[in-house]
Structure 1
Amino acid sequence: MANSASGMAVHDDCKLKFMELKAKRTHRFIVYKIEEKQKQVMVEKLGEPIETYEDFTASLPADECRYAVFDFDFVTEESVQKSKIFFIAWSPDTAKVRSKMIYASSKDRFKRELDGIQVELQATDPTEMGLDVFKSRAF
């Protein structure tokens, strides 16, 4: 189903891989890209469970927008191991205006397709999604 605002469809693989991350923890992160010619959101990169936050941030292009999901593991003050699923709307200042507009107008519709997101982050530069930001938003 296309998004009425931007006309973007969501490839079935996007939801499938998200369900694998959520239910089976087969991925640490997923990077999604809008393919303008096909007018749909596609899976661009899957992070293996052993990959780190640094691997995740390295997979985001410095001057292009992306959506991403990151399974963030942390330990509470009570020493309980937990995890939260973060949705990141990556829209760097250096990205093209058209790209930023397309990603912004498609975000809510796309996010609704991914049932189970616990925290949302908007980031225009790496400091807005630093590990400290993840930690502070996880609790």
Structure 2
Amino acid sequence: MANAASGMAVHDDCKLKFLELKTKRTHRFIVFKIEEKQKQVIVEKLGEPTESYEDFTKCLPADECRYAVYDFDFLTAENVPKSRIFFIAWSPDTSRIRSKMIYASSKDRFKRELDGIQVELQATDPTEMGLDVFKSRAN
């Protein structure tokens, strides 16, 4: 099922791995990449449950767009442990214009395929998705 706007299909593995993250918590994060030649979104990297936020940010290329999902654990003001599933549209200023356009036009449809996203972030540099941003958006 290709997206009418950009023609990008979503590989079944994307939905499967997201479901694992959401229900079984077998992954801390997932980085998705658009494979332009195959015209589809694929899983590029899976983060182990033990991996940190820093491990996650290192997986995002400095000059290429990506989609990512991050399972963010935090404590509420009442000291109750909770988690939120963040969807990050990573689009650095240094990435190619064509790439930015493809990612932007495919984002909404791709996000709809991942049922259970709670917070969305758009980031063009690491400061826009720092831990402080996650904490402020999680509550």
Q: Distance in 1 between matches of 2:111 and 2:34?
A: 13
User: Could you say what the CA RMSD is over the residues aligned between the two structures, in angstroms?
Assistant: 0.2
Matched, 1:56 2:79: no
Q: Distance in 2 between matches of 1:97 and 1:79?
A: 44
Amino acid in the other structure paired with 1:59 = C
**Corresponding residue number in structure 1 for 2:87:** 87
The aligned runs of 1:108-123 (5 Å cut-off) are 108-123=108-123
Displacement of 1:22 after TM fit?
A: 0.1
- Of all paired residues, the percent bearing the same amino acid is 86
Displacement of 1:79 after TM fit?
A: 0.6
**TM-score under structure 2 normalisation?**
1.00
**TM-score under structure 1 normalisation?**
1.00
Which structure 2 residue ranges, 5 or more long, are not aligned?
none
**Corresponding residue number in structure 2 for 1:31:** 31
Displacement of 1:116 after TM fit?
A: 0.1
Q: Distance in 1 between matches of 2:124 and 2:60?
A: 12
Q: Distance in 2 between matches of 1:71 and 1:91?
A: 20
Which structure 1 residue ranges, 5 or more long, are not aligned?
none
* Corresponding residue SS for 1:92: coil
Displacement of 1:60 after TM fit?
A: 0.2
**Corresponding residue number in structure 1 for 2:124:** 124
Displacement of 1:3 after TM fit?
A: 0.1
Q: Distance in 2 between matches of 1:133 and 1:81?
A: 18
| Aligned length, in residue pairs | 139
The aligned runs of 1:35-46 (5 Å cut-off) are 35-46=35-46
Amino acid in the other structure paired with 1:3 = N
Displacement of 1:43 after TM fit?
A: 0.1
**Corresponding residue number in structure 2 for 1:101:** 101
Displacement of 1:122 after TM fit?
A: 0.0
Displacement of 1:114 after TM fit?
A: 0.1
Q: Distance in 2 between matches of 1:126 and 1:101?
A: 20
* Corresponding residue SS for 2:102: helix
- Residues 78-129 of structure 1 deviation map (CA, whole Å, 9 limit, x = unaligned): 0100000000000000000000000000000000000000000000000000
